[in-house]
Amino acid sequence: MIYNTLNPMKAKSLAAGKYADGQGLWLIKRSQQAGKWVLRLSVAGKRREMGLGPWPEVSLADARMKALQARATLRDGLDPVAVRQKERLSAKRLTVKEAVEGCFKARKAELKADGTAGRWMSPLALHVLPKIGALPVEDVDQHVLKRTLEPIWHKKADTARKAMNRLGLTLKHAAALGLDVDLQATMKAQALLGKQRHITKHVPSLPYQEAPAFYQWLCTQPHQSCFVLRLLLLTAARTGEVRFATTEEIIDDMLVIPPERTKTKREHKIPLTDEALRVIKQAQKFEGTNLLFPSSRGKPLSDATMSRFMEREGYEARPHGFRATFRSWAEECTDAPFEVKEACLGHAVDKGVVGAYQRGERLERRLKLLKSWQEHLLVSQ
């Protein structure tokens, strides 16, 4: 085997092409004046190419030294390419902000609409990144987390809990990159912060006894948000399921919500009553959008728009609370089975083996219950 076939003068005189120096070291020239060094290795039976830098900036002697070090790393049973990547990452000192963004990017596929709503990032963007975003993620310990989240630990318990959870995922992501992070930092920080003093506040709902008067008042209002509120009441759907609904999702008098827009990550079919279909037909339509209830700009209406409308009109209840309104009515005023009432809300009621074999979606019984609910809403006052 021939080694060191190149010399500086020869390397300089060679035209564009590939030239071996021996032991896997190659000079690949794009032109007579420029090129790069590549080391070919066999790692776990697979051929790898490792760049050693540009020629002539990296001299022949330097390229041979780098190749010698890489071969020594390989003899130790390590992948020199992976070792170099880890060294570069460690030298860069990945910040908390960069680690969070990397973690978010890796998890986007698991989030609704690829996380475009910003809910995954918002607790961190508001309460964590402004304080420790520039800190190297390897320097994050329980004391850093305690100082960061202590101001909101009890006052905004749910937000703090979400932020802590996502910081834990971020540390796992950093560990997967090969960084030396403390995976128990969040658990230790929670021990230091103690149990949260927090009383869960439910979204205010409308008493079902008041629902008919409210619904019939909505029927007198021309606002687009009122059409959405009417359909929310009639279907007991989640606000996002209706606000983002499109004409293509109306199939055989059903609103078919795709898995990516449901909380259970499963398709949710909502049988539509005559009144629900009438609401959809009456809603304002705009060119250039297939949304059932577009705003004047052709975009989906926001939760805030509908909530502010109800607040201005003096109502304490909020749109999401309509689901509790329906559920209370169904519990107290009907003898519908538990599974039917829960299925109307889009809850996963069949799990495990039962879920595997339960193919029916109780559509007929759900439609019957929703028709009874419609009659309640339309009853004369």
CB atoms under 10 Å from CB of 252, counted, come to 9
Q: Are 140 and 96 in contact (CB under 8 A)?
A: yes
Give Cβ neighbours of residue 283 (< 8 Å, ≥ 6 apart).
Answer: 224, 227, 228, 292, 293
This prediction has a pTM of: 0.54
The tens place of each residue's pLDDT in the chain, 381 residues long, gives: 567 889 999 999 999 999 999 989 999 999 999 999 999 998 888 888 999 999 999 999 999 999 999 999 988 888 888 888 777 766 567 899 999 999 999 988 777 666 666 789 999 999 999 999 999 999 999 999 999 999 999 989 889 999 999 999 999 999 998 888 999 999 999 999 998 875 555 667 889 999 999 999 999 988 899 999 999 999 999 999 999 999 999 999 999 999 888 888 889 999 999 999 999 999 888 888 899 999 888 888 888 888 888 888 888 888 888 999 999 999 999 999 999 999 999 887 765 444 433 445 688 999 999 999 999 999 854
Give per-residue burial for 262-271: e unless 16+ CB within 10 Å, then b: beeeeebbbb
SS (H, E, C) the chain: CCCCCCCHHHHHHCCCEEEEEECCEEEEECCCCCEEEEEEEEECCEEEEEEEEEECCCCHHHHHHHHHHHHHHHHCCCCHHHHHHHHHHHHHCCEHHHHHHHHHHHHHHHCHHHHCCCCCCHHHHHHCHHHHCCCEHHHCCHHHHHHHHHHHCCCCHHHHHHHHHHHHHHHHHHHHCCCCCCCCHHHHHHHHHCCCCCCCCCCCCCCCCCHHHHHHHHCCCCCHHHHHHHHHHHHCCCHHHHHCCEHHHEECCEEEECHHHCCCCCCEEEECCHHHHHHHHHCCCCCCCCECCECCCCCECCHHHHHHHHHHCCCCCCHHHHHHHHHHHHHHHCCCCHHHHHHHCCCCCCCHHHHHHCCCCCHHHHHHHHHHHHHHHHCCC
Question: How would you list the strands of the sheet with 250-251, edge to edge?
Answer: 250-251, 254-257, 268-271
Q: Are 198 and 156 in contact (CB under 8 A)?
A: no
Structural domains of the chain ordered from first start? 8-92 (3.30.160.390), 96-193 (1.10.150.130), 211-378 (1.10.443.10)
The amino acid at residue 100 is V
Q: Which residues on neighbouring strands pair with residue 294, listed in sequence order?
A: 300
Angstrom distance (rounded) from CA 230 to CA 97: 42
216-262 per-position pLDDT tens digit: 999 998 889 999 999 999 999 999 999 999 999 999 999 999 988 88
